[in-house]
Homo-oligomer: A and B are copies of this chain.
């Protein structure tokens, strides 16, 4: 755990939470903020950082080394670009050609990226090892529980999410009364939730299931929920959220529980094989 932590920062709240956790633990950091993804607020207040293009791998590696980083964490989502939009530098192009960019799903690509960093001599750790108590426990968070119908929807949701995950497509599905309202691909969970609102059927609302992929690379892109997920789910008329216990990250647990309790949503961690 010693030394400066390199944070490869994409979108969302997770990178900020990692920075805060390091500050609280007096651990120095260096943030590589990906252009077009990372939140500018992340690097305000004197956080050592560099903005780089996703495709600029040689520059990124050099900056990490120049700043004495030996341990790395990947935090936050990055909108996966086409090869053309990526404009890979020589180092990135060499890597992508070797691993076969086109043929890899997201999880396959992240595994290859992590292996590449390790071949370059970095140690890669998961965000959950930096954030205390970040992994979803088994059982309900907060005071609401799924009823029998929601439990059936959750079971169906995990079955489908894991089949999709095996294809390395997305992590999330929305199920209402046995109907699959939506399936996540590249658009992300927030967009999935929003588009399911007008598809909602009469009667008890749907559930969002967000599941780790079979064989998921645990050091990147674990399913993540936070207070914003509760707000979005509530706005879309969902009744609750189920995530993989021990294999998904809960950001800002106290605020998430307060929001879920207030909105009447259940949030539950489900053990999956």
Contacts and interface: CB of A to CB of B under 8 A. Distances in A.
Interface of A: 80-85, 101-103, 105, 152, 160, 163-164, 167, 169-170, 173, 176-187, 191, 195, 199, 201-203
B178 A182 contact: no
Which residue, of A102, A167, A185, A187, has the highest number of chain B Cβ atoms within 10 A?
A185
A179 B81 CA distance: 9
Given A167-B160, A201-B81, A186 B177 contact: no
A202 B102 contact: no
11 contacts: A82-B179, A84-B177, A84-B202, A102-B152, A105-B180, A163-B167, A164-B164, A169-B183, A181-B187, A182-B187, A187-B199
Given A152-B102, A186-B199, A82 B176 contact: yes
A82 B160 contact: no
Which 7 residue pairs are nearest across A and B when measured between Cβ atoms? A82-B201, A102-B178, A84-B203, A85-B202, A180-B185, A183-B183, A84-B202
Nearest to A195: B195
Contacts of A203: 82-85
Contacts of A85: 201-203
A43 to B, nearest CB: 26
A211 B202 CA distance: 30
A82 B182 contact: no
Contact of A186 (B152, B160, B179): B179
B186 A103 contact: no
Contacts of A184: 183
A186 B178 contact: no
A160 B103 CA distance: 13
Contacts of A105: 180
B81 A178 contact: no
Nearest to A83: B177
Contacts of A179: 80, 82, 186
Given A183-B184, A195-B195, 10 more contacts: A80-B179, A82-B177, A84-B177, A84-B201, A84-B203, A85-B202, A160-B169, A180-B186, A182-B186, A187-B195
Contacts of A84: 177, 201-203
Contacts of A169: 160, 180, 183
A177 to B, nearest CB: 5
A102 B151 CA distance: 13
A194 to B, nearest CB: 10
A244 B154 CA distance: 32
A238 to B, nearest CB: 14
Contacts of A181: 185-187
